[in-house]
Amino acid sequence: MNGIGNEIVVLDLRAGGVTVTPEAARAIGATPGAHFDQLMVLYPPRAAGLDATMKIFNIDGSLSAACGNGTRCVGLLLMAAEAKSSLLLQSDAGLLTVKDAGDGMISVDMGKPKFGWADIPLAEPFQDTRYIELQIGPIDRPVLHSPSVVNVGNPHAIFWVDDVTAHDLGRFGPMLENHPIFPERANISLAEVLSPDHVRVKVWERGAGLTQACGSAACAVAVAAARTRRTGRHVRISLPGGDLVIDWRDDDRIVMTGPAELEHVGELPAAIFAGVAAA
């Protein structure tokens, strides 16, 4: 599947029998036709009222607590299969509500952002996370500097720039993702404010690299832009793969709306799961 170009594999294990290890996730990503930015693994619901439990892997086998584009893909798949207009999914970031927004659009309630330095987390205290002291380049002429940081299921750092195409994020991304200030690594975004309700974004995803889109990064940018008074609380985020609409509601919850697409369906070789304990 894909969410505005974000490569997503949805693996339905709700029938039970196997689970996915980091090694298995990496093997899946290396399987022809199954390369992914994020792997959304569906397990049986663990409580009444839930539709599924999700585990999310990056292509390097690391876990991700949230993936907005992947969650929309799961929503498209399950709502179509089960003739539902809404779902409640359990993720490591908490409960996520998914709804059919009409006209091919799917909305996901991504929860509330976290701004405290220890919640992001950062390696040292910063009282104001709208900007932190971090820069790339010479002290007197930094190339990138003073990012906003926020946790939207995952740690995010947003660098405000005049032109997202003017910077080689493929070069700076790995360095910034693994900077010591981010003990759990971080997603790195370049954000260019085009108007009070439109922001252009380029993303280096933690554990995935440069991607066409990142839903949680879009949410992080929207929240950080409103928090630094660059935009309002309802914005369109343009990523290389397409646009998402982000609404940071007055109740502090973030709702992301955008399309999702099913590309093909297949089965994975059983050998990938050989020796893996039953779920």
Among all residues, which ones are annotated catalytic? 67, 214
Q: Are strands 187-195 and 155-160 parallel, antiparallel or unpaired?
A: parallel
Calpha distance 185→65 (Å, rounded): 13
